[in-house]
Structure 1
Amino acid sequence: MRIVVVGAGDVGTHIARDLADTHDLSVVDTDPERIESLGSSLDLAATEGDGRSLDVLEAADIHEADVVIASTDDDAVNVMVCGAAANVTDAFTIARVKSGELFDTWQEFGDTFGVDRMLCVDRLAATALVRTVTLPGALAAGTFVDDRVEMAEFEIEADHEIANQRVADADRFPSLTFAGLLRDDEVVIPTGETVIEPGDRLVVIGSPSSVRRFATTLSPTAALDPEDDVVVIGGDEIGCRTAELFAERGFTPTLIEHDPERAAALGERLSGVSIEEGEATSAAFLRDVGVGDAELVVSTLDDETNYLVSLLARRVGADHTASVVDEREFVDLFDAAGVDVTVQPHTVVAEEIARATRAHTDEAAILERDSAEVLEITVEQGSELAGEAIEDAAHDLPDGFVIGAIVREGSLTTPRGGTVVQVGDHVVAFADADALDAVAAAL
């Protein structure tokens, strides 16, 4: 597939690295140093220039493009790039934006912009964050096939019931598959004899109810209840959307915003959300507004402030913390500080773009810093899976691939070796990142 990416900042570079090995990729950016760096380190064509210029887009072979991704740090530029591309090509256009208002406008008047798919980064990150923290103990979570299948990742601790058990003994849930283990820097495809070790990150795939029942066996006291106190720090787009999502789930969250005018505006906009005006970096203020009694504190500001607020929240008594982390290199620091859940907007965007660009893949969730993915695949005629029992198809598929669930005509099936996969089935599978190319070729 021919893909043109306009914008080689943090997000664009992440996208380029994710796609360069599997697609014919061209990247456009105004910064000559970025262009030189990408051109020398990845197998792609790099063009220096403004992506709003048709001359620059033509230099990047826009006429041959199947997909155009506009991922600069300027929303208006991204919309203009897609509009320019739509005027000269039939390529599928994707624009990354931060503005929720622009996203709402696109949803109402999408045909006007020339944007086929608009990704509102902050709203996607808020959705991923709320989905994860409302699943007890999950480090990551995602849904597939119209929410019929759920994936979740859990870190196994020494006191967990399944620690040091064989998979055959631990996997007692009828609609759940133990799909993969992330162990140190290794991806382990489990068999019945594989022993689950403390420190492993276990990826499970199954029905949402089974995933939740499994989660409660690991963290029986960690499940959030609508009666629990949830505090969201930051009233920008991501914080506002996070508070809204909690309110939609029956919670009554408190949102803390330091700017008086914005706090007043949020009070008028948000229903079911309590607004507190003040500085979240003040321990005295956090105590005054009841953060010490909160079950969960979510930080949605910049990385440095989020780190400080997370530490303060735990210090004054909050039970759990979650944070948005923009810079990938800070994730380990947040983990070491005991932050329970981190969400990276860049990674969330990469998942959405993977859905649009990976052949035969309807959904994709990236795990453990790109070491593995969970994929939703619609089985087509000619696929190695079509008409084959899973145990037979396994001989023609790469080792790092495990089918976790099958949805056929709206009904979920937990796969076994003798399960025959049919054309039209929606398959949700775990795949080692190193096996993705082979998986794509086989499916």
Structure 2
Amino acid sequence: MRIIIVGAGAVGSHLAEQLSKEHHDVTVIEEDKDRMQRLQDALDILVMQGNGASPKVLQRAGIETCDLMMALTNQDEINIVAALTACKSKVPFKIARVSNMDYYLLDNWLSEDNLGVDLLVNPEFECALQIGNLLAVPGASDVAEFGSGQGMLIGLSIQDGAPCVGETLSDMMLRYDRQYFLAGAVSRRQRTIIPTGRTRLEAGDQVFFFCQRGSLDDIYEFCGLKRRMVRRVMILGGSKVAVYLCKILEKKGIRATLIENDEERAEELAEKLDQTLVIQGEPTNVEMWDLEGIEEADAFLALTRDDEENLLSGLIARSKRVPIVIALLEKLEYVPLVNQVGVNTAVSSRLAIVDKILKYVRRGHILSVATLKGNEAEVMEFRVTSGCKLTNTPLKDLKTPPEVLFALIEREGSIFVPTGHTQILESDRVVVVAGPTSKRHVEELFA
């Protein structure tokens, strides 16, 4: 597929790297000369300097013959103009990144039926949804749904003294009902492991489980954790992510206290958020946290526009023994620091839209895609179509690379963890974990 990406920021660069690895013909347009040069040095793709909203620049990039155009700069107006130019050039598929709430709420105005944009992505809204999912599974670093919502992926840390420490996975699964959950990937000291039955888990491992929704209590016990529902949260910063999240929490009946430094912004948010307590004050004023009941909070969310402030406040919240601490980090180089300072997980509004875009690009027999934080493995969900090479053969007899794991199958409305004797059938929805060198091989198997 011929793809043009407008914008070489975190989102555009990440997608350019991923899609070029998948052998798509990728061209990137970037106005900033230094950013353009960095991407050109890093990837074997065509990178052009220019304004992505300019029809002349888009024509030089090959807009007339491309299959997909993504406008992913941090300026909504450039993205919209680029997408509309792509519409006029009859590009089959157009994606635009839009952060302004006014534009985003006018989804129908920009839609395929009106102005022709196929997919609008809002980084802040997607990030807020991600945080909402994390709060529904307290302590998790990753949460994703598969199938019709019955199947889940959750990432949890193995605690000191957990019953699974030092045991092989095959022995541990004898104590639990294997059909309900499976350890599908492990992050250990910055290494990715696709586990087998002989794999022994260690304290500090980050394990990614695939499970039925009803098996969460068993998984928490397995990891040495206690499951505690989130009923009250404290939020620092009145960012767009925070506003979207407060609206989500209000619908769920979760009490939120939001602290915003700017007086005018605090007044604006107090009018917008009916059931959220909005307080004007310095976000890192710990005395204010105490006055507002930090010790009663089930979760602390550092969502200011300043990464350093989010890390620091997360560290302080951890010292206050808040069970769940989540920090918004846009500088990806800070993400490895998260575990060192005691923050449970980091979220990024920029990367929150990557999975959504990849799912759209790979649409067809691929139903969804999830990337795992701190892990090079990728999770893909497929619908098995007629002629698939994998059907009617026991999984143990399939010739697949060792870093491929069949994690979940949904069949006729029921979801289960397969065994080596399971056979894949036409119309099944199958969730697969693939290591970094096996992703394309897995896609070919299901083609």
Same fold (TM over 0.5): yes
Unaligned stretches of 5+ in structure 2? none
Match of 1:56 in 2: 57
Q: Secondary structure at the match of 1:442?
A: helix
Distance 2:220 2:251 in 1: 22
Match of 2:40 in 1: 39
Match status 1:182 vs 2:187: yes
What's the CA shift for 1:220?
A: 4.3
Matched to 2:139, the amino acid is G
Matched to 2:15, the amino acid is I
Aligned mate of 2:135, from 100, 115, 133: 133
Match of 1:68 in 2: 69
Residues 347 and 366 in structure 1, CA contact (< 8 A), matched pair in contact too:
no
Aligned mate of 1:413, from 410, 413, 416: 416
What's the CA shift for 1:217?
A: 4.6
Distance 2:358 2:259 in 1: 34
Matched to 1:333, the amino acid is L
Match status 1:321 vs 2:325: yes
Match of 1:235 in 2: 238
Aligned mate of 1:206, from 211, 217, 221: 211
Matched to 2:4, the amino acid is V
Aligned mate of 1:299, from 292, 297, 302: 302
Match of 1:357 in 2: 361
Residues 379 and 422 in structure 1, CA contact (< 8 A), matched pair in contact too:
yes
Residues 157 and 223 in structure 2, CA contact (< 8 A), matched pair in contact too:
no
Match status 1:391 vs 2:396: yes
Aligned CA distance change for structure 1 residues 348 and 136 (closer, same or farther; 3 Å): same
Post-superposition CA distance 1:360-404 (Å, at most 9, x none):
3221111134511111112223433233332233x1x22211111
Match of 1:334 in 2: 338
Distance 1:315 1:204 in 2: 28
Q: Secondary structure at the match of 2:114?
A: helix
Distance 1:328 1:356 in 2: 24
Q: Secondary structure at the match of 1:147?
A: coil
Match of 1:10 in 2: 10
Match of 2:350 in 1: 346
Q: Secondary structure at the match of 1:20?
A: helix
Q: Secondary structure at the match of 1:364?
A: strand
| TM-score normalized by the length of structure 1 | 0.93
Distance 1:29 1:310 in 2: 34
Matched to 1:323, the amino acid is A
Percent identical: 27
Aligned CA distance change for structure 1 residues 318 and 164 (closer, same or farther; 3 Å): same
Q: Secondary structure at the match of 2:21?
A: coil
Q: How many residues align?
A: 439
Distance 1:179 1:5 in 2: 33
Aligned CA distance change for structure 1 residues 370 and 84 (closer, same or farther; 3 Å): farther
What's the CA shift for 1:124?
A: 0.7
Distance 1:415 1:126 in 2: 33
**Alignment RMSD:** 2.0
What's the CA shift for 1:316?
A: 4.5
Aligned CA distance change for structure 1 residues 334 and 386 (closer, same or farther; 3 Å): same
Residues 257 and 277 in structure 1, CA contact (< 8 A), matched pair in contact too:
yes
Matched to 2:58, the amino acid is L
Distance 2:359 2:317 in 1: 36
Residues 135 and 230 in structure 2, CA contact (< 8 A), matched pair in contact too:
no
Match of 1:423 in 2: 426
Residues 190 and 374 in structure 2, CA contact (< 8 A), matched pair in contact too:
no
Aligned mate of 2:386, from 360, 367, 381: 381
Distance 1:129 1:375 in 2: 21
Q: Secondary structure at the match of 2:74?
A: coil
Distance 1:108 1:408 in 2: 38
What's the CA shift for 1:317?
A: 5.0
Matched to 2:353, the amino acid is V
Aligned mate of 2:314, from 310, 316, 322: 310
Match status 1:154 vs 2:159: no
What's the CA shift for 1:290?
A: 1.6
Distance 2:286 2:185 in 1: 41
Post-superposition CA distance 1:224-260 (Å, at most 9, x none):
243xx31111222100122222222221111222223
What's the CA shift for 1:282?
A: 1.1
Post-superposition CA distance 1:184-240 (Å, at most 9, x none):
2432222222212222221111212223541355354342243xx311112221001
